[in-house]
Chains A and B, each alone.
Chain A
Amino acid sequence: MTLSPRHAAQAHILMPRLETPFHSRLAALSEVNDWYTWSGYKAPHSLADAELEYFAIRSTAALFDISPMVKYRIAGPDAERYLNRLTVRDVRKLGVSRVHYTAWCDDHGHVLDDGTLFRFGPDEFRLCCQERHLPWLLDSAYGFAVTIAEETEEIAGLALQGPTSYAVLSAAGFDVARLKPFDVVTLDRVTISRTGFTGDLGYELFVPRDEALPLWDRLWAAGEAHGIRAIGYGALNQARIEAGFIVANADFMTAETALRADRVRLPDEIGLDWLVDTEKPSFNGRAAILAARRNQSLKHILVGLEIEGNIPAEHAIVYHRGKHEAGIVTAGIWSPIAKRNIAIASLERPYGERFTDDLWVEIYALRELKYQKMMKRARIVPRPFVKLARRSATPPGLR
């Protein structure tokens, strides 16, 4: 493979902070002007009030711009076989017009990223993820009749999440009543999947870049009666922690970004063991994952924690019996809907595996230039922390 297709696909590095196709709408709504960089794109932390934005997800409908999500189009007669070798889940079991959550590893079984795989046809897929992987995807294509195209830029994406999201889509003229969780359909040139990162009823919509603003306006107009609100990442992050979802390079380091040799993680070390299908044909990392299981050399484990009190424990150290360091909290919030102090933590085995009791977290709360140090009891609890029946009800409710 020559270098030129790669270089052609790397034009995004020339502009440090791109604006998404929805930027003009977001900028008009932004009261706080609080932006951060997501994969090279300008994205809002929040637009007006993070708390109201969170409650839009849980009470009405929230509109979140996911255009910066990295997207690859993978097509060709060998696309299924290619993806089956690339990712840990069995792609043969992924039906047409279906989506599944998956992960992919390097030769050593270390997770390169997680993401969602959309199947549009027998030979047509889209892979969505956090990090860029074009060199890896192209090198993986050796020996397969498959084409791989980076389409992050061309495809605009919106997540519409919340209890009234179905009502909004209906009002906008999209008939998605029969769409079950992880189904995907294309209506009016809009690709709509019943997926999301909130654990709530919700959809993700994709359109070619040029059709982004009309879609936004269509949803916005239809959503006015249903409490639609544009949100930033702060609100989404709260919802995803409640749903127990992990974020690459927040809850674990991806193999290609980790600088330190001990920071890489096998799927089993970040709670993704359930994705790994050892019965399917060979895939990247298979031998290493199986060897680690066989030799019991897995070093880490990802757990959900419930922590006493109401102070978020983000990045707190986890202790066993209050003195032996056992790991770190990678994400933690006070959950407004569960009314619990919850966290996702990465523990070093045997903590979290054989030693699951008597865990503590040490929270440093900065209060007017003084740390208030708290040792709080933590209990391992299953994820998701919040489970909502409306997420999977079909047909979905209108409110």
Chain B
Amino acid sequence: MTSSDALKSVYDAIVVGAGHNGLTAAAVLAKAGRSVLVLEAAEAPGGALRSRIFAPGYRSPGLAHIVNRLDAAVCRDIGLDVAREPRLVPTTVLDGSGRAVVLRGAYGEEIEGVSPEEAAAFAALRKKLVFQAAVLKRFLRRPPPRLGAVGPGDLAAFAAAGFGLIRKGREEARDFLRMLLMNVADVADEYLADDRLKGLLAFDATLGIHLGPRSPTSLLGLYYRLTGEVAGKAGGQCMPAGGMAALGPAFARAAEKAGVTIRCATPVARILADRGRAGGVVTADGTEIAAPIVVSAIHPQKTFLDLVDPAESGTGFIRAIRNLRSRGNVAQLNLALDRLPTFEGLPADAREGRILLVRSMEQVETAFNPAKYGEFSPDPVMEITFPSRADPSLAPVGGCTLSALVQYAPYDLKGGWEAGKPALQKILLEKLEQHAPGIGWSIVAAELLTPADMEAEYGLPGGHWHHGELQADQLLVNRPTFAASGYATPIEGLYLAGAGAHPGGGISGLPGWNAARHILAGEKP
């Protein structure tokens, strides 16, 4: 298509990638009256939430298998219809002894299976962390401050953060500054004695991040989790109505209701730019679609290294984008089971929630060690859900699906994943067998998604579901990198709106929401 008609902008904005952030951004733009086209490479929308058939009759929930930070304002704003009246679900820690620790409410408001002293200690730590996370939370719903161009809104956020800190006295403020960049292990040791609780905190702080609990700054991961809210409660988690697999379609529905056009199975081959100005996209079949605004809700590396001609970016910017640390560390095991497995010590009412197989902080730390050298953990830790409990359509009648997020499983496995995958799968199935004797007999099919598989299946460079490490050097004004940290990029008219943008990964909708609002705020008609 080279006729002048094709080059005329039919859409005000094109969003690349129909992940939940792309759809959120599209919906916000459409609600503001813009005509928006979303292009998605896969057959269906949802991005990392995209459900897949992994065995005849069995579907996986996608990479995310529980909701713990879906932003209420985002849901309200775009009219998401599945997240209403969420019910908090518990977390159970199983260490193999049969004595479970169950955390109920939002991140263990009530806790079972530990001594009263330990429960009190956990409550104190929880209170402190939730308070500190709340100080950080106010920066998540707005673009990161622009150094050199700090606006009144930024100052207000700083002031509010400062006030929030000293509200509880200088000691709390000092403690916040002391703890902010600590490692989760030292913090857990300060407060707790129970290995299982320490293991839980260690796992939650490091899941999806290339850090062990003893690595400096590992507490940030836990803060990040606790900035998430469900039902207005920090650290809460839930299964959306209809299960996780319903979430992607719900985002798509919301976007379409707002007037967005979504085209699936339409990979974008190039983002057009000329002399620093974006002008549209070319799809894989060669169709050119013009638009003055292009919003990339996919990985920043894919955006700037593959889709935009590197000649359109500066050498320094390309250097920074290439050096983003984005190598995934988590594998996902999907099991098709012919019946619900029985985990020793797991209360019946905790099956709807999240189950952690972790003995101690040491286990997490030890599991991290081989990952530093390109090997998977021989004694991995994992988080399990039964997605078919919330969405029976995922499995045949009587059957059940199990999803486990396993760490650590480095993207660059020494010796390659072809040989490594069966070996890791064997270890995982043995571990499951220890916790749920007989589960092996009920397995109809098993699928292990390594970070390499996630890269191929979900278009995630490095198989990193956060679109880049969530660590201090890649957060806020440096997410994904300084020159592109405010949703706007060095290429005029091209914006980032995915997990690689502030505030980061997880099913929150915030990067997309912030990006769209930023575009609308700064748009010149």
Answer whether A142 and B310 are a contact pair too, CB < 8 Å, given A106-B315, A106-B316: yes
Could you tell me the distance between the alpha carbons of A30 and B134 in the complex, rounded to whole angstroms? 75
Provided the pairs A107-B490, A281-B275, A282-B276 are in contact, do residues A136 and B315 lie with their beta carbons within 8 angstroms?
yes
B305, B309, B311, B490 interface centre (most CB from chain A within 10 Å): B311
B490 contacts A287, C-beta separation under 8 Å: yes
Residue among A84, A143, A281, A287 making CB contact with B310, cutoff 8 Å: A143
List residues of chain B with CB within 8 A of the CB of A82: 311
Give Cα A367 to B273, complex, Å. 62
Cβ B314 vs Cβ A107 within 8 A: yes
Cα-based distance from A286 to B322 in the complex (angstroms)? 21
Contact (Cβ within 8 A) A287 B276: yes
B318–A143 touching, CB < 8 Å: yes
Number of interface residues of A (CB under 8 A): 20
A86, A106, A108, A284 — which one has the most chain B CB atoms within 10 A of its CB?
A284
Name the residue of chain A whose CB is nearest to the CB of B309. A143
Indicate if the CB atoms of B490 and A140 lie closer than 8 Å.
no
A108 to B319: give the CA distance in the assembly, Å: 14
The answer to the question of B312 belonging to the interface, with a C-beta cut-off of 8 Å to chain A, is: yes
Report yes or no: A142 in contact with B309, Cβ–Cβ below 8 A.
no
Contact partners of B317 in chain A: CB under 8 A: 107
* CB nearest to B315 among chain A residues: A140
- Which residues of chain A in 79-105 are interfacial with respect to chain B, using CB atoms and an 8 Å cutoff? 81-82, 84-86
A144 to B314, CA, bound (A): 13
From B312, B315, B490, A86 is in contact (CB under 8 Å) with B315
B318 touches A139 (CB 8 A): yes
Interface string of B242-279 (1 = CB under 8 A from A): 00000000000000000000000000000001111000
The contact string, 1 if C-beta is below 8 Å from chain B, for chain A 116-157, is 000000000000000000001001101110000000000000
User: Does B483 lie at the interface of the complex (its beta carbon under 8 Å from any beta carbon of A)?
Assistant: yes
Closest to B308 in A: A143
Instruction: Report the minimal beta-carbon distance from B411 to chain A, rounded to whole angstroms.
Output: 18
Contacting residues, chain B, for A287 (C-beta < 8 A): 276, 490
Least Cβ–Cβ distance between A86 and chain B, in angstroms = 7
For A140, list chain B residues within 8 Å (CB): 315, 318
In residues 114-132 of chain B, which contact A (Cβ within 8 Å)? none
* Separation of A285 and B314 alpha carbons in the complex (Å): 7
Given contacts A107-B316, A107-B490, contact A286 B311 (CB under 8 A): no
For the complex, count residues of B whose C-beta is within 8 A of A. 19
Once bound together, how far apart are the Cα atoms of A128 and B318, in whole Å? 24
**Contact flags B301-337 to A (C-beta < 8 A → 1, else 0):** 0000100011111111111001000000000000000
- A residues near B314, Cβ cutoff 8 Å: 106-107, 284-285
Do A281 and B315 form a contact, CB below 8 Å, given A107-B483, A143-B305, A287-B490?
A: no
What A residues does B309 contact at CB under 8 A?
143
Check if A142 sits within 8 Å of B305, measured CB to CB.
Answer: yes
Residues of A within 8 A of B276 (CB): 282, 286-287
Q: With CB as the reference atom, state the residue of chain B lying closest to A1.
A: B322
Least CB distance from A137 to B in Å reads 9
Separation of A282 and B318 alpha carbons in the complex (Å): 14
A107 and B305 contact, CB distance less than 8 A = no
A146 to chain B, nearest CB (A): 11
Specify which of B273, B312, B318, B490 is in contact with A142 (CB 8 Å cutoff): B318
Q: Which of B273, B274, B311, B315 contacts A139 (CB 8 A)?
A: B315
| Residues of chain A from 278 to 298 with CB closer than 8 A to chain B in the complex | 281-282, 284-287
Query: CB-CB < 8 A to A143: which residues of B?
Result: 305, 309-311, 318
- Interface pair B319/A139, CB less than 8 Å apart: yes
B275 and chain A: residue at smallest CB distance: A282
* Most-contacted residue by chain B among A106, A108, A282, A286 (CB, 10 A): A282
A143 CA to B322 CA, complexed, in Å:
11
A281: chain B residues within 8 A (beta carbon): 274-275, 311
Return the contact of A85 from the options B305, B311, B316 (Cβ within 8 A).
B311
Cα A285 to Cα B315 with chains together (Å) = 9
Residues of B within 8 A of A136 (CB): 315
Interface 1/0 per residue, B36-47 and A, CB below 8 Å: 000000000000
Nearest B residue to A135 via CB reads B319
Write the nearest CB–CB distance from B303 to chain A, whole angstroms. Answer: 13
Digitize B274-311: 1 where CB-to-A-CB distance is under 8 Å, 0 elsewhere: 11100000000000000000000000000001000111
**Which residues of B lie under 8 Å from residue A86 when comparing CB positions?**
315
CA distance A139 to B317 in the complex (A): 10
Residue B275 contacts which of A144, A285, A286 (CB distance < 8 angstroms)? A286
Enumerate chain B residues within 8 angstroms of A284, measured Cβ to Cβ. 314-316
Interface-central residue, A136, A140, A143, by most chain B CB under 10 Å: A143
Which residues does chain A contribute within 8 Å of B316, judged by CB atoms? Answer: 106-108, 284
B315 touches A81 (CB 8 A): no
Query: B residues within 8 A CB of A144?
Result: 310-311
Residues A142 and B274 in contact, CB atoms below 8 Å apart: no
Which chain B residue shows the least CB distance to A287?
Answer: B276
The chain B residue with its CB closest to the CB of A84 is B311
CA distance in complex: A166, B316 (Å)? 44
A342 vs B203: C-alpha distance when bound (angstroms): 71
Q: How far is the CB of B147 from chain A (nearest CB, A)?
A: 14
Q: Which residues of B contact A84 (CB under 8 A)?
A: 311
Residue on B nearest A139 in the bound complex, by CB = B319
Interface residues of A in 7-64 (CB under 8 A from B): none
Q: How far is the CB of B386 from chain A (nearest CB, A)?
A: 45
Determine the residue in chain A with the shortest Cβ distance to B314: A107
Interface residues of A in 60-82 (CB under 8 A from B): 81-82
Residues on the B chain within 8 Å of A142, using CB = 305, 310, 318, 322
Contact present for B315 and A107 (CB under 8 Å): yes
Instruction: Quote the shortest CB–CB distance from A71 to chain B (angstroms).
Output: 20
Taking the nearest CB of chain A, how far is it from the CB of B35, in angstroms? 28
Complex CA gap A85/B274 in Å reads: 12
Please give the distance in Å from A172's CB to the nearest CB on chain B. 42
Q: How far is the CB of B318 from chain A (nearest CB, A)?
A: 5
Residues of A within 8 A of B315 (CB): 86, 106-107, 136, 139-140, 284
**Min distance, Cβ A49 to any Cβ of chain B, angstroms:** 45
Q: Give 9 pairs: A residue, B residue, CB < 8 Å, sorted on A.
A: A85-B311, A106-B315, A142-B305, A143-B305, A282-B275, A282-B276, A282-B311, A284-B314, A287-B276
A-B complex: 9 closest residue pairs judged by Cβ atoms: A143-B310, A107-B314, A107-B316, A140-B315, A85-B311, A282-B312, A139-B319, A284-B314, A287-B276
6 more CB-based (< 8 A) A-B contacts, given A106-B314, A108-B316, A282-B273:
A86-B315, A140-B315, A142-B318, A143-B318, A285-B314, A287-B276
Interface on A for B, CB 8 Å cutoff?
A: 81-82, 84-86, 106-108, 136, 139-140, 142-144, 281-282, 284-287
